[in-house]
Structure 1
Amino acid sequence: MVASGTERVSDGVHTQPGLSEGVAYELAVVCAGEGAAKIAFGPAAQGAKSVPCDGSVVFDRFTAERSLRLDVRGNPGSAGVIAWRIDRLRPPAA
């Protein structure tokens, strides 16, 4: 694990983790409660992926760029807790 945290859906997640450029990582986000949230991450936190607040884990693999920002925001009327984790992926065995 490289970075992780939990926040209330109403507060959201807003972080800029220090990751090594060019290294592969996996982001896991889970929301428990009611409604849904949106994940946006990247150099400019562009693009968004929906996360239902039903306890389902949403995964995304990416290669870090020089600056990565992670934002998770609850949709209007959503309530609960968001947990997130970034893991460094190991290269395949040769």
Structure 2
Amino acid sequence: MSTAFLTACASGSESEKSAKTSPSPAPSAFQTSAGPSEQKLTEQAQAALAAVHSGTMVEAGAERVRDGIHTRPTLSTGKTYRLNLICFGNGSASLTVAPESEKTPVPCDQSMIQRRITVDKPVRIDVNGTEGSSGVVAWQIDAI
């Protein structure tokens, strides 16, 4: 897995990249031999978020579980927002929305996590994968 990822991310011409890979077709940057590609998982997670979308989208994204989410969205004081979060893959992660410090478990089993956020101080959203977790975690913040 690491070799394919490093090869796909290496700089240089396509012919240089081809010379570094096996004769079989080069995998995508997110392809793993253990299961669905992270690109496919990202598409599935984003489709799941789109199905529950309500209100006006403020911010959205998707990251590898091992990289986590670390965002400081610009949200208006006194307004209420909905955070939708979903993880596709294996293992789990932990969600923290500051200034609260309560951690919410995020299983990577395609379960949707929804959190209402009322802004009275700057907000920080952190999602950290547990050791050995893999896949993609996607989020969307909607003004409601």
Same fold by TM-score, threshold 0.5 exceeded? yes
SS of match in other structure, 2:139? strand
Q: Which digits, 9 at most, give the CA deviation of each residue in 1:13-69, with x for residues without a partner?
A: 0010000011010001000000011000122x6111011101111001120123100
Is there any run of 5+ residues in structure 1 with no aligned partner, and where? 90-94
SS of match in other structure, 1:5? strand
User: Is 1:19 matched with 2:75?
Assistant: yes
Q: Which has the higher strand share?
A: 1
1:57 is matched by which residue type in structure 2? M
How many pairs are equivalent? 88
Partner of 1:50 in structure 2?
Answer: 105
Structure number, greater radius of gyration:
2
**Structural mapping, 1:1-94, within 5 Å:** 1-43=57-99, 46-89=101-144
Q: Which has the higher helix share?
A: 2
Is there any run of 5+ residues in structure 2 with no aligned partner, and where? 1-56
**Identity of aligned pairs, percent?**
45
